[in-house]
Amino acid sequence: MNSTKIKNILLEVDSSEIKRIFKEAKAVKQTTLGHDVYLRGLIELSNICTKDCFYCGIRKSNRSVNRYLMTKDEIITSAMFAFEKGFGSIVLQSGERDDENFIAFIENIIEEINYLTSRQLRITLSLGEQTTETYKRWFNSGAHRYLLRIETSNESLYNKIHPTEHSYSNRVNCLSALKEIGYQLGTGVMIGLPFQTIDDLVNDILFFKNMDIDMIGMGPFFEHSQTPLFGQPVDIANSPSQLLELSLKMIAATRISLPKINIAATTALQALNPFGREKGINAGANVVMPNVTLTQYRKDYLLYEDRPCVNDLADDCFDCVIKRIEMTGQKVALFSNGDSLNFLTKNNQLL
Ligand code: SAM
Ligand code: SF4
Ligand code: FES
């Protein structure tokens, strides 16, 4: 799909035409990837962060955050919960740290999870910008997928939402390094940022295409009162319902443009509407990421306020997600690792 067609989707206002676009995107997903929806268990292992992104509630300058690092045993317990429930994979996510203690801690956890599950649980990392050497170390320990959102593909907008010491080109270089090493590569953007335009979102989808991305995790931006972006006007969506619709159009346009990739219906969609994730699946998403972090830590991983599932147990989220996915007429693919078809095709790994 070219940029004009993508832009037309994002600007569409006619509700029956929007419904038709979502139906088309879901049909593309079903024709290419079948009825399966994959689960990724999200483990938010630490909110300690050395960076200061202007949008994020756990940025280092937010002194009101109660900082934590889950213990190795707690992380393994969460991973084993996901494994035993039949999740094909987990995501280890955290604030960004690049000290040797942290790097070795993660290395050790990856090795232990692989040992305990006989490498049957795919491990995705979402641990921010690191050196190529660190990415290699974690890959060699047995983590083979990485999620690093570009946040926005517009460099000048990127610079407006980050302090000067954060670098857009470094983030792009990290994505290239991850691909080169052999990771299944995930990225994504926030939708509805202050200063963002519809053209920026069109270019985001073209960026996913040009970078040959395997997985997308994108979702709405929410302001957090303890961050510099709080109170900034947003031009492209003025209400939660508009932001939801725009986020769903982004999913649909991405699916129609890139049929073979994995696309997550993120928890942030659920913050806009109780059925936000189901709507994401109905607009072409094929991945859901239930939170399996121990409940005691969830209230301290507030990227934005009013996050869903903060007081729920991992078991509650599991049961809830299964029922909700079935409501969309799709099938939860338990005990399946859900590799990205885009990745398998280009690496000739299809059976
Ligand atoms: N520190 C790592 C990084 O930044 O890549 C991983 C964790 S970070 C919390 C994961 C994602 O949360 C970011 O890529 C960003 O898109 C998202 N995020 C942070 N603050 C947000 C907000 N206020 N609204 C929506 N998403 C947000
Ligand atoms: Fe840290 Fe990631 Fe939040 Fe930025 S988005 S402040 S790197 S946790
Ligand atoms: Fe957490 Fe529904 S996914 S309770």
Closest ligand, as measured to the CA of 61: 2
Task: Return d(Cα 113, Cα 120) in angstroms, integer.
Answer: 9
Name which residue sits closest to atom 3 of ligand 3, judged by CA.
317
Name which residue sits closest to atom 4 of ligand 3, judged by CA.
317
Asked if the 3-346 domain carries CATH number 3.20.20.70, the reply is yes
Closest ligand, as measured to the CA of 323: 3
Q: Over 70: is that where the pLDDT of 55 sits?
A: yes
Residue 106 and residue 125 in contact, taking contact as beta carbons nearer than 8 Å: yes
Q: Which atom of ligand 3 is nearest to the CA of 277?
A: 3
pLDDT digits (tens, 9 = 90+) for 28-39: 999 999 999 999
Domains of the chain, by residue range, sit at 3-346
Across residues 257-273, what is the average pLDDT? 93
pLDDT digits (tens, 9 = 90+) for 207-236: 999 999 999 999 999 999 999 999 999 999
Q: Over 50: is that where the pLDDT of 124 sits?
A: yes
Ligand 3 near 317 CB (within 6 A): yes
Residue 28 and residue 255 in contact, taking contact as beta carbons nearer than 8 Å: yes
Across residues 131-137, what is the average pLDDT? 98
Residue 87 and residue 41 in contact, taking contact as beta carbons nearer than 8 Å: yes
- What pLDDT score was predicted for residue 8? 97
Q: Which residues line ligand 1 (CB under 6 A)?
A: 55-56, 93, 95-96, 126, 128, 148-149, 151, 190, 221-222, 224, 268, 303-304
Give the DSSP per-residue string, 297-338: HHTT--SSSS-TTTT--HHHHHHHHHHHHHHTT-EE-TT---
Side chain identity at 94, as an amino acid letter? S
Q: Which residues line ligand 2 (CB under 6 A)?
A: 49, 51, 53, 56, 58-59, 95-96, 128
Task: Return d(Cα 276, Cα 157) in angstroms, integer.
Answer: 27
Q: Over 70: is that where the pLDDT of 349 sits?
A: no
pLDDT digits (tens, 9 = 90+) for 161-175: 999 999 999 999 999
Q: Over 60: is that where the pLDDT of 350 sits?
A: no
Q: Which helix (H) or strand (E) holds 27?
A: helix 15-33
Residue 180 and residue 210 in contact, taking contact as beta carbons nearer than 8 Å: no
Closest ligand, as measured to the CA of 230: 1
Q: What is the mean pLDDT of the chain?
A: 94
pLDDT digits (tens, 9 = 90+) for 280-336: 999 999 999 988 998 899 888 988 887 777 777 778 778 888 888 888 888 899 988
- What pLDDT score was predicted for residue 347? 81
pLDDT digits (tens, 9 = 90+) for 102-122: 999 999 999 999 999 999 999
Give the DSSP per-residue string, 91-128: EEEE----SHHHHHHHHHHHHHHHHHTTT-SEEEEE--
Q: Which of 42, 62, 168, 190 to mutate to test the pocket of ligand 1 (most atoms within 8 A of CB)?
A: 190
* Ligand 1 centroid, distance to 161 Cα (angstroms): 12
pTM: 0.96
Measured CA distances, 134 to 100, 106, 111 (Å): 9, 10, 15
* Ligand 2 centroid, distance to 95 Cα (angstroms): 5
Quote the percentage of the chain above a pLDDT of 70: 99
Give the DSSP per-residue string, 219-244: EE----TTSTTTT---SS--SHHHHH
- What pLDDT score was predicted for residue 351? 45
